[in-house]
Amino acid sequence: MPANQPKPIIGAVTIGQAPRTDVTPDVLPLLGNSFELIQAGALDSVTDFESIAPEPGDYVLVSRLRDGRSVPMAERKIIPHVQQAIARLEEQGASSIMMWCTGEFPMPLRANVPVLYPSRLLSRTVSAIAPRRLAVVIPDASQIEQTRAQWLHSVDDVCVYAANPYDEHDSLAAALDRTADAARELQADLAVLDCIGFSLEGKRRFRERSGIPTILPRTLLARVVQELA
């Protein structure tokens, strides 16, 4: 890119609160100097988290607040907040937007620029690899059944485990070790750490412990974005 040519602006929407300082250390090196990254959070101005709490039958999502805490939420309740975050990024000049959440988002989201959904990249990547048995790790046990149903559209056999990427380091490490041992025992041949919150460090730990090739959403998404540069 010529030195005098402005970098394209790419936006990132988190369903939690921005900035996601836990995500950028793994993403920015992959994006390199090709883009200017701006962020917006669906919960940036939300203080009443009970108002977005999931109820029986809701599609559950989990994300991170600025103070490092994680919060569960009902997808249907945060759609308007996600829509507002998209609009803020467009107003700031984003030419495309990354969704920093692996939820499916079946409800329509309006955007005037391309939006890249990790869930769609993941499902198509896994389908192309065609694993015999897929291991999926998600943040919360309440998401297990919805996640199993989601992944059975892409594979014939899936086992789902919970390990919250927003837990303290030692708790997360222990949970990843347990899930890695379980996935290895069930002889999964591919794994997905199915949350933007999982880090490259967590992927390495799970991969080394389980011996299973492992896909990390945040780096997969960043590599696709870089391919478009």
Are 50 and 139 within one domain? no
Residue closest to 222 by CA, chosen among 14, 20, 29: 29
Q: Tell me what pLDDT residue 28 has.
A: 96
Residue at 33 is within a domain:
yes
Residue at 76 is within a domain:
yes
**What is the extent of the structural domain holding 110?**
9-117+219-227
Give the domain CATH number at 136: 3.40.50.1860
Amino acid at 139: P
Residue at 202 is within a domain:
yes
Residue at 3 is within a domain:
no
Are 92 and 128 within one domain? no
**DSSP codes joined into one string, 42-61:** TTTT---GGGG---TTPPEE
The CA distance from 222 to 63, in Å, is 19
Are 87 and 20 within one domain? yes
Give the domain CATH number at 65: 3.40.50
Question: What phi, psi does 216 have (nearest 5°)?
Answer: -110, 120
Are 94 and 130 within one domain? no
Are 112 and 167 within one domain? no
* pLDDT single digits (tens) 183-209: 999 999 999 999 999 999 999 999 999
Q: In what order do the strands lie in the sheet with 96-100?
A: 36-41, 9-14, 96-100, 115-116
* pLDDT single digits (tens) 56-84: 999 999 999 999 999 999 999 999 999 99
Tokens of 113: 């620029």
Residue 229, pLDDT above cutoff 80:
no
Largest CA distance in the chain: 55
> What is the value of pTM for the model shown?
0.94
Residue at 40 is within a domain:
yes
The CA distance from 158 to 160, in Å, is 7
* pLDDT single digits (tens) 86-144: 999 999 999 999 999 999 988 779 999 999 999 999 999 999 999 999 999 999 999 99
Residue at 59 is within a domain:
yes
Residue at 1 is within a domain:
no
Are 111 and 125 within one domain? no
Q: Tell me what pLDDT residue 1 has.
A: 52
Are 48 and 141 within one domain? no
Residue at 61 is within a domain:
yes
The structural domain count of the chain equals 2
Question: Is-contact 75 107, C-beta < 8 A?
Answer: yes
